[in-house]
Amino acid sequence: MSPAYILKRIVLVGYTLLVVSLIVFAITQILPADAAVMMLGENATTEALSALRAKMGLDASIWAQYGHWLAGVLRGDFGVSMRTGQPVGPVMIEALGRSLLLALFSIVLMLVLALPLGIIAAVRRGRIADLLVSVISYIGVSLPEFVTATLVVLVLADWLQWLPATGYVPLTENPLQGLRHLVLPVLTISVILIAHVSRMVRSELVDVLHTDYVRAARLKGLPKRTVLYKHALRNALLPTITIVALDVGYLLGGVIVVEEIFALPGIGRQLIVAIQSRDLPSIQAGALIMAATYAIASFLADIAYARLDRRIQYD
């Protein structure tokens, strides 16, 4: 992978985020909320509202407001929350860290379970194991997050009482309790991910096992494990990387429901609170940070593509 391509992709990521910032800022301007009224209250005088609008630059043109906001974002200043009066950036970054921790555990669990299930289904194509994996995958895909969350809470938290139903404990304060609170949301998210990825691995591996170079490797007398893991699986995983990168976007979007159900203070829950309270700076910061995370994940997926398959060259 050439440095020129990497630089080109970085520029493309920056351009994408610029477009997203325009869209996000435009949408927040359409929302029926007056920042000055939100901060001072509905009983504020006209003079006080006018003074605050002038201080915040709200009396300037839309493009001037956007330029001021974008300049602040480039400096790492996302503004001040209308709801709390605190800087938005540190709060959203901290919330993003919690969401990424949840996503990381979910992706690790997904890879640990989905890859073996997909491999077993492909190797035993048409047999009982393949049928069971297919049934599990279809069930996982068909269950929405709120249904899966209800089921795991009902079984593991209510009936068996093994785990806490809601809440969050930082891992730095109490690692054991922190992990216990993350188990249920991780299981909820992983169900759909495992269903998607296991089917993808199974489908791609079945196709790769019927290619000419795999047949040639078998004819050379190579062990079955070598043919499967060194030759076939490596190429079958390429589309899986794309799915995992896209799932990062799903995690940042779909995790909103999970965080709300399990009362996890991640970026999804922060965004819901911001929307409910018409906290425009928090909405802008949350949406832009989520978009940046997704764009970076897609960029890393391209790099992983080139690392796994040397035939892929980005110029």
pTM of the predicted structure, to 2 decimals: 0.79
Query: What digits encode the pLDDT tens for the residues 277-308?
Result: 778 888 888 888 888 888 887 777 777 766 66
Query: What digits encode the pLDDT tens for the residues 156-207?
Result: 888 888 888 888 888 888 888 888 988 999 998 888 888 888 888 888 888 8
Q: Give the single-character DSSP code of 75.
A: T
Query: What digits encode the pLDDT tens for the residues 90-114?
Result: 888 888 888 888 888 988 898 899 8
Q: For residue 313, what pLDDT is reported?
A: 55
Domain range 88-308, CATH class: mainly alpha
Please answer whether residues 241 and 304 qualify as being in contact, where contact means their C-beta atoms are separated by less than 8 angstroms. yes
Query: What digits encode the pLDDT tens for the residues 126-136?
Result: 888 888 888 88
Q: For residue 217, what pLDDT is reported?
A: 77
Query: Looking at the predicted structure, is the pLDDT value of residue 265 above 80?
Result: yes
User: Can you name the residues that pair with 124 across neighbouring β-strands?
Assistant: none
Query: What digits encode the pLDDT tens for the residues 66-81?
Result: 888 888 888 888 888 8
Closest of 106, 32, 51 to residue 264, by C-alpha: 106
Helices 175-209, 88-123: inter-axial angle, 10-degree rounding: 40
The domains of the chain are located at: 88-308
